[in-house]
Amino acid sequence: MDLLKRYIPVLFLLTVVVAIQLVTHFTETTYYLTQLTMSAYYSVVVIGLCVLMGYGGQISLGHAGFFAIGGYLAGALATHNLLPIKDHALVVFCNKIGLLVVGKNLYGSDLLTFEPWAACIIAVLAAGLIAFAIGGPVLKLKGHYLAMATLGFGIIIFRVVLASAYFGEADGISEVPGFSLFPGIEVSGSFRARTLNYYIAWGMVICGVVLLLNLIHSRVGRALRSIHGAEEAANAMGVNTARYKLYIFVLSAVFAAFAGVFMTHYNGGIGPSEAGVMKSVRYVAIVAVGGMANLWGALIMGIVLNFLSLRGVFGSYDDAVFGVILIVIMLFAPEGILKINPWQKMKTFFALFVKQDNKKAAEG
Amino acid sequence: MALLEVKNLDRHFGGLHAVNNVSFTVEQGMIKAVIGPNGAGKTTLFNLIAGNLPANSGTVYFNSMKITGRKPYQIASLGLSRTYQNIKLFHGMTALENVMVGRHTRSRAGFLSGMLNLPWTWHEERKIKAKAMEYLDLLGVADSADTEVSNLSFGQQRGVEFARALATEPVLLLLDEPAAGLNIYETAEIGRLITRIRDSCITVLLVEHDMSLVMDISDEIVVLSFGEKIAEDIPQNIQQNEEVVRVYLGDEG
């Protein structure tokens, strides 16, 4: 019964995803699918962050960093030619165990690169390990201090990708090949594969949502929420709070990294703006708008706001809009906009005037 | 060997000697009370035992095992549970979920099995829920099982916190002022409950200000004043103890 209640919204989401695809197909507006696909990938970051922030109670202003680690590593490994150093022991070893593939670049010359799946695994593992390494010390901090520390991490990643030639400096990485998941199913920006990629991205979102919904409603999920509620008491109940915080941090970093890998293959490249601090702020803002401890709220807001942003609705004020959203939400709806009861707000608003009038009447 | 043995425990905050070379033991199956004027170091003592604060020196043995230096969650998993003076419930969770967290050390589903919702965890979840309901029922707050704890009355919150502590099935229960903020009827109710807990083979160590409650239910009393133990005896003798009377009422002049 509980399970049914948990999964019905997922089925509903699946229906909406298919419905949207069919509508765009028949109205010949399939160009919307491109932005919806990208919104889906960003939403994977958002739902992972939502569980960290809303349920675990730990803020991270560095999640664009994990997205970038995933995207950049996968992109670079799958793109950079290893032929000039093909006699290096490490390259020979990787080749022997089948991690490398020979291809051709745009101009027809030979290319020795990592298999995209190998690159994906390396990239996600790297993000997970980095999260594990920095999470240990950083998660001892609380509140503003944790925010500052993760912000610092985000800035480091941003400056590193911007400065290193391997990651293409300001140009980022381009000409990233497609990522063939199964024969015939490839993550790529090719025009013909648009619908397929729409479904790949949404399949990933749905898998992510199901996994996280299960987690939230499990013993571990309760322990995480108890850390958010009262960390000291959680510890006294036998919850190893430090370990749980670390694991959830790593998990959300892995979600971000997966999104980064897929997005890079889909776009055929990645640039330093993906690692920027404003991207991290944007993810946090979306989780806040969705209502912090509300996975569905975060997902819906992640799709809507990212879609609007990608369609260029906010114009060049894009980042400013997300900053404003964050401030407004924190001031007026810390529970998220889906929890606002407009009628109640109006009542309290008018009650204020009535009180003042009564006061005046009493004085007069 | 006593269930809990506190040996030369010492802790200071800057110049303040909050707990000064305190030693006492708690035998299995008794209710032992720690009393003393405000600022005597009672809560600090609790925090030292439960591992929330590191001691400057001294040791605590629980079941003949040295627990000083261990983390609170490790101590909790050995069978020591506690409540707080200013109730610490998990806000944003229902009363039932709060008590379900109390079952944490008695269940084992981890990250992966939780995420994949493996069938064996369903059985465990059902058991956790049933047990949690049992404890809510015991405390008379089963009606509010699905209410978010911030919306409960003070008395109900205390009940939920109690249920949560009991849900860990502790060997030793530390109660920090269980009757604070309760009226005389509720206090009497708590007194009966604590006696019942003791009768179900759970040893109780409590800090309390309500003297009639302490004298009624305790088997032994430790008196602290300015961090030092000034007396340890059965209630009748504590009432007659001159130094205790002096600490509480002041010199006759």
- Residue B14 belongs to domain with CATH number: 3.40.50.300
Is position B84 within any domain? no
Q: Where are the beta strands (DSSP E) in chain B?
A: 4-13, 16-26, 31-35, 57-62, 65-66, 80-82, 172-176, 203-207, 220-225, 228-233
- Main-chain phi, psi angles of B88, to 5 degrees: -115, 85
Residues 6+ positions from A97 with CB-CB distance below 8 Å: none
Same structural domain, B179 and B234: yes
Is position B162 within any domain? yes
d(CA A42, CA B11): 50
Full residue range of the structural domain in which residue B3 is found: 1-79+170-253
Of B168, B198, B215, the domain-final residue: B168
Check residue A335 and give its pLDDT.
Answer: 73
Q: Are residues B90 and A233, on separate chains, in Cβ contact within 8 Å? A: yes
pLDDT of B6 > 60? The answer is: yes
Q: Is A10 on the interface with B (CB under 8 A)?
A: no
State how far residue A219 is from chain B, nearest Cα, in angstroms. Answer: 6
Same structural domain, B69 and B179: yes
Check residue A99 and give its pLDDT.
Answer: 84
Is position B146 within any domain? yes
What angle is formed at CA A43 by the lines to CA A40 and CA A44, rounded to 5 degrees?
95
| More reliable by pLDDT, B186 or B205 | B205
Same structural domain, B65 and B34: yes
- Where chain A has pLDDT below 50, the residues are none
pLDDT of B248 > 60? The answer is: yes
Is position B192 within any domain? yes
Identify which of B71, B91, B114 has the shortest CB distance to residue A229: B91
Q: Are residues B77 and A228, on separate chains, in Cβ contact within 8 Å? A: no
Interface test with A, best of B74, B77, B101 (most A CBs within 10 A): B101
Q: What is the DSSP letter of A239?
A: -
d(CA B205, CA B222): 10
Q: Are residues B72 and A235, on separate chains, in Cβ contact within 8 Å? A: yes
Check residue A343 and give its pLDDT.
Answer: 64
Check residue A43 and give its pLDDT.
Answer: 96
pLDDT digits (tens, 9 = 90+) for B11-31: 999 888 899 999 999 999 999
**Among A238, A230, A247, A222, CA closest to A52:** A247
Answer yes or no: are the C-beta atoms of B85 and B179 closer than 8 Å: no
Interface A:B, Cβ pairs < 8 A: 103
Q: Which residue of B has its CA nearest to A246?
A: B111
pLDDT of B155 > 60? The answer is: yes
Say which range, A64-73, A89-98, B206-215, B224-233, has the weakest mean pLDDT.
A89-98
What angle is formed at CA A295 by the lines to CA A294 and CA A298, rounded to 5 degrees?
85
B chain contacts of residue A237, beta-carbon cutoff 8 Å:
73, 76, 81, 101-102, 104-105, 164, 168
Same structural domain, B175 and B151: no
Check residue B11 and give its pLDDT.
Answer: 93
Same structural domain, B49 and B106: no
B chain contacts of residue A238, beta-carbon cutoff 8 Å:
73, 76-77, 104-105, 168
Identify which of A215, A232, A238 has the shortest CB distance to residue B52: A232
CA separation, residue B169 to residues A230, A361, B82, B93, B151 (Å): 20, 61, 11, 21, 26
Same structural domain, B66 and B29: yes
Same structural domain, B16 and B59: yes
pLDDT digits (tens, 9 = 90+) for B38-59: 888 899 999 999 999 999 999 9
What's the mean pLDDT in B139-152? 92
Same structural domain, B154 and B100: yes
**Domain total of chain B:** 2
Check residue A283 and give its pLDDT.
Answer: 94
| More reliable by pLDDT, B8 or A358 | B8
ipTM score of the complex?
0.90
Check residue A345 and give its pLDDT.
Answer: 64
Check residue A154 and give its pLDDT.
Answer: 95
Same structural domain, B74 and B188: yes
Same structural domain, B178 and B74: yes
What does pTM read for this prediction?
Answer: 0.90
Q: Is B100 on the interface with A (CB under 8 A)?
A: yes
Is position B179 within any domain? yes
Same structural domain, B194 and B72: yes
pLDDT digits (tens, 9 = 90+) for B84-116: 988 999 998 999 999 999 999 999 888 899 999
Q: Are residues B101 and A221, on separate chains, in Cβ contact within 8 Å? A: no
Same structural domain, B218 and B159: no
Check residue A348 and give its pLDDT.
Answer: 67
Of B146, B168, B190, the domain-final residue: B168
Of B168, B193, B210, the domain-final residue: B168
Q: Are residues B73 and A235, on separate chains, in Cβ contact within 8 Å? A: yes
Q: Are residues B111 and A251, on separate chains, in Cβ contact within 8 Å? A: yes
pLDDT digits (tens, 9 = 90+) for A35-50: 999 999 999 999 999 9
